[in-house]
Amino acid sequence: DCFCAFFSNIAPIGYCKYKDITGQIVLITGAANGLGRLVAIRLATKGATLVLWDRDEKGLATTKEECEKSEGCKVKVYTVDMLNRQSIAQAADTVKREIGPVNLLINNAGIGIGGKLMEVAEDDIRKTIDLNMMSHFWMAREFLPEMLARDAGHIATVASMGGIFVSAQDMIPYCASKFGAMAIQEGLENEAASMGKHGVRFTTVCPAYFQSTLLDNLTTKLSMSVMTPEYVADATVDAILREMRIVMIPRTMYLMYAIKG
Q: Where in the chain are the domains?
A: 19-260
What CATH number is given for 19-260 in this structure?
Answer: 3.40.50.720
Are 66 and 77 a contacting pair, CB within 8 Å?
Answer: no
Q: What is the pLDDT of residue 129?
A: 97
Q: What is the pLDDT of residue 13?
A: 52
CA distance 188 to 182: 10
pLDDT along the chain (261 residues), means of 10: 55 70 97 96 96 97 96 95 97 97 97 88 96 98 98 97 83 94 97 97 92 65 75 96 93 84 79
Write phi, then psi, for 227 (nearest 5 degrees): -80, 160
Q: What is the pLDDT of residue 212?
A: 75
CA distance 34 to 37: 6
The reported pTM is 0.91
Give me the active site residues, please. 174
Nearest to 256 by CA among 186, 183, 141, 163: 163
Q: What is the pLDDT of residue 4?
A: 56
Q: What is the pLDDT of residue 141?
A: 98
Q: What is the pLDDT of residue 179?
A: 96
Q: What is the pLDDT of residue 170?
A: 83
Q: What is the pLDDT of residue 215?
A: 64
User: CB within 8 A of 115, min separation 6: which ones?
Assistant: 124, 170, 219
Q: HSE of 256 in the Cβ direction (CA atoms, 13 Å)?
A: 16
Are 181 and 159 a contacting pair, CB within 8 Å?
Answer: yes
CA distance 39 to 105: 12
Give the CA-trace dihedral at 50, 130, 180, 54, to 10 degrees: 10
